[in-house]
Structure formats: structure tokens, C-alpha cells
Amino acid sequence: MKPAKEERSMAEASLVHLPPLVVGDKSLADVTRDICAPMERRPTGLWWSAFVLSSAVLALGVAAVTYEIATGIGTWGLNRTVGWAFDITNFVFWIGIGHAGTLISAILYLFRQKWRTSVNRSAEAMTIFAVMCAGLFPLIHMGRPWMAYWVIPYPNYRGPLWINFRSALMWDVFAISTYFIISLVFWYVGLIPDLATASARARPGWRRRLLEFFSLGWNGSYRTWHRYELVYLLLAGLATPLVVSVHTVVSFDFATAVLPGWHTTLLPPYFVAGAIFSGMAMVLTLMLIARKVMGLEDYITHRHIDPMCKLTLLTGSIVGLSYIIEFFTALYSGNTYEQFAAVNRLWGPYGWCYWVMIGCNVVAPQLFWFRWVRRTLPVVFIVVILVNVGMWFERFVIIVVSLHRDFLPSSWTMYFPTSVEIATLAGSFGLFFTSFLLFCRFLPVIAMGEVKGVLGHGQANSTDEPTP
């Protein structure tokens, strides 16, 4: 047994500086019990108050959208010059939020980052709910959303007249629907073993029936695990280029236009970095709330918060660099219109939006250079809220500020959102948080199967010896 002992001490030495991912010295059974607990007990008062609040906001949004569809797009503040404003800003904002979920679940899986196991399930759920919110905005913007199926190519009695596959908006339809479906499948595949665990514990009744139905007869067979691991890896490998392609295609909506401020090759990488930046901020926001509301402090620890803060800092700095490159492009192009668009962002009538964006996206995340900031959760919470606000303003600056003063000074105008638009934006947050709270209530928030794998209990190099 000597070589094994040596191996063990080496492994301990490599781990000596890192606190455990999950604190409280949990056994495998503890993990199951703790994570299934929120599904099995009655919801707490905190959960109820959050749920009532978010569904009230959702109801406000539903009322606003109902009024808008019944009356027409005229209820928004759009005009002939600014034809895209709040709706597309919100669309890009929500799509971007989703990207961090895929980053955590797919890209960090490929990089074998063990800390992702505690947050990947809820980050993926966040992706799905964010893409749902995002998809609503173009749908509402159509004016007659019941005609939305016209964007899908299907044999019809109009010729058949097909959709125009050369349009960036069409690429968007395909990219976002693919992203939604693959994210949903990835999430569900990850859920199957945990649903089986939960159904084995559940009391007989309709909830157990449902859990059984959706766990597809999973019984923990290693033959299935063996294949499952490969499928999970393949899905991660597919989702990684997909997530990059989705925000690239979203940026094409702008980059393929000739408008100064949009027409630049910088947009795709800039959008992808910005998406992951905003998404990281939203994951942190949700995690900080969820660990308090759902009592998961032992599972979401500094070992999880800290790398997410660092990723926020990294992507935030990339975004800051992109802002500088944008100005360099305008300067170096020698193009009057480009230069005007750049100056108009800074000192034009919407200049304050630009400075809010710089303050929130470039300056605020720099606090994450300091270790004590990353460890002081209230400060982290404030910073990530600022980033959320800043990233919303970034999209507003790109879309509205570029549109409102184009080549033709006679068409220059201002855009102001109406109460209907603001209520719709609020309603999308209501939808997002309502869905997330329901998810916390009815599904395992943390991937039990994955957390158990990284606990280190009972493994060859662990310290606990079996009872003889």
C-alpha cells in the first residue's frame, strides 16, 4: 500500500492551497438530500415574496404587450429615422445574457473546470429563459405575431415563394432557434440522471409520475453513463462554436448594414465578448440571489464566485478595448460619417448613455482586480448589477445612437421610449425571474451527478478509510 500512500500525499499537496469546492464536508447522501430539499419542502416565505413580485411584473408586461398588439406598433416611440430601438436593444441584451450559460456549461466543461459543476445547471436554465425573453421582442415587433411562422421556409401556395436566405435577419432566425433548441437539449440531457435521483426519493403521486416520465428510465447503469459522458462531451463541443456563431450572427444584423457605427468588422468579436461579459454578470446576480433564497451557501462558494468575477473582469476588459478600437477605426478610416458617428456617441444628445456605459462596463469591473472585492459578496453584487445596466446601455448606444443621426441631417431626430415599451422591458424581467424561480422550486438547481463526481469522497486518493 506504500505507493498508494505516496500518491495520496502528492495529491493532497497539490490541493493544499485550494479550499474545497463544496464546503461542510458533504457525503454523497448529503448532496442528494441538500439539493433535493428545495423540491421536497414547502417554499419559503422569501421564495413566495420573490415569486409574487416577479409574476406581478410579468403581468404588467403581458398587459403592455396585449395593448400593443391590439393597438399597433404606434404605441412605441419609434419613428421613421429610428425604426429599431427598445425592442432590438432588449433582444440583443437578452441573447447576450444567455451566452454565459453556454460558456459555463460547454466551454468550461471542455476546459475541465471543476468549479462549473455547482453553477452549470442554473446557468443553462438562465440561458433558456434569456433566449425565451430575447425571442419575444422580434416576435412582438412583427406587429402581427400570429404570422411569425412566415419566417420559416415551408412549402406554401405563394409559388412556393421561399424566404430570402441572403438576409442577415434570416440567419438570425436560424441561429437563435438552433441555439434555443440545442441549449434546451443540453440542459435536459444534463437533467436526466438528477431527475431519476429525485424521482427515486419522491413520494408516490403525480410529481413522482412526472419525474419518472421525464427521467426516461434512467437507472444508473454504467453502460449508459459511459455513452452519456461521450454525448455530453459532444454536445459541449457543438455548443461551443454555436454560442460564438449566435452572437456573431446577431452582430451581422448591424455589421452588414452601411450605417456608420454599425458597418465594421469589429462587431462580431466585440458582440461575443460583450455577450459573455453581460451573461457572467447575470449569472453572478442570479447565483448570489439563489444561494441566499434557496439556502445553497455550502454549494456556491468563493471557489465559484471568484473565477466568475475574474471572467467578468477579463471579458469586461475586452469590451473596453473594443470601445477604444471603435474610435481608432473611426479616426483611421478618414471617413467623415464614421468620425461624426463616433463624436456623436460621446458628445451628442445621447452622450450621457455613452458615459453610463463606460462607467458601468469599463470602470466598475476593474474593482475585481482586488481580492477583497471578489470576496465581499455585497460589493460583487453591486458591481454585477452595474454591469447589467451598462451592457443594456451599450446595446442602446449601438442601436439608437447610430440610427438617430445618419447620413441625412434632415432626417435627424430623437427617440424616447413610451410607457408601453418600458413596461414590456420590465415584463421581460418578470418572465425571466418567474421562470427562474419556478425552476428553483421544481427542478434540482445543482447538477447532483456532477457535484458528486468532484467531491473527492471515497476515491483512491481520499483520506477517509473504509470501516473494516
Q: By CB under 8 A, what part of segment 235-264 binds other proteins?
A: 235, 238-239, 241-242, 245, 249, 252
Residue 329 sits in the site that holds other proteins (CB under 8 A)? no
Stretch that binds other proteins, among 37-45, 49-57, 210-218, 309-317 (CB under 8 A): 210-218
Name the H helices within 79-167.
86-102, 108-110, 120-141
Question: Of 238 and 438, which has the nearer Cβ to other proteins?
Answer: 238
Question: Of 176 and 330, which has the nearer Cβ to other proteins?
Answer: 176
Residue 362: closest CA among 330, 391, 400: 391
- 111, 157, 206, 222: which one binds other proteins (CB under 8 A): 222
- 84, 93, 228, 392: which one binds other proteins (CB under 8 A): 228
Residue 7 sits in the site that holds other proteins (CB under 8 A)? no
Instruction: Give the cell for residue 75.
Output: 404605441
- Burial (0-12, 13-18, 19+ Cβ within 10 Å), 274: buried
**308 and 288 Cβ atoms separated by less than 8 Å:** no
At closest approach, how far in Å is the CB of 164 from other proteins? 6
Q: Determine the Cα–Cα distance for residues 347 and 344; give it in Å rounded to an integer.
A: 5
At closest approach, how far in Å is the CB of 225 from other proteins? 5
At closest approach, how far in Å is the CB of 175 from other proteins? 5
Instruction: Give the cell for residue 121.
Output: 445547471
Question: Of 19 and 220, which has the nearer Cβ to other proteins?
Answer: 220
Q: By CB under 8 A, what part of segment 27-46 binds other proteins?
A: 27-29, 32
Residue 310: closest CA among 365, 267, 361, 269: 365
Looking at residue 158, what DSSP letter applies?
T
Q: By CB under 8 A, what part of segment 136-195 binds other proteins?
A: 144, 146, 153, 159-167, 170-171, 174-175, 178, 181-182, 185-186, 189, 192-193
Residue 75 sits in the site that holds other proteins (CB under 8 A)? no
Q: Determine the Cα–Cα distance for residues 351 and 355; give it in Å rounded to an integer.
A: 7
Residue 23: closest CA among 154, 115, 106: 115
- 49, 150, 201, 349: which one binds other proteins (CB under 8 A): 201
Count the residues of the shown chain that bind other proteins, applying the rule CB under 8 A.
71
At closest approach, how far in Å is the CB of 106 from other proteins? 11
| Helices 377-396 & 351-358 angle (0-180, nearest 10) | 150
Question: Of 91 and 186, which has the nearer Cβ to other proteins?
Answer: 186
At closest approach, how far in Å is the CB of 255 from other proteins? 12
- Burial (0-12, 13-18, 19+ Cβ within 10 Å), 4: exposed
Phi, psi of 29, rounded to the nearest 5 degrees: -65, -35
Question: Of 135 and 193, which has the nearer Cβ to other proteins?
Answer: 193
Residue 128 sits in the site that holds other proteins (CB under 8 A)? no
Each residue 424-463 as x (binds other proteins by CB under 8 A) or -, in order, gives ------------------------xxx-xx---xxxx-x-
Q: 454599425: which residue's cell? A: 262
Name the H helices within 334-376.
336-347, 351-358, 371-375
At closest approach, how far in Å is the CB of 217 from other proteins? 3
Residue 98: closest CA among 236, 276, 249, 360: 276
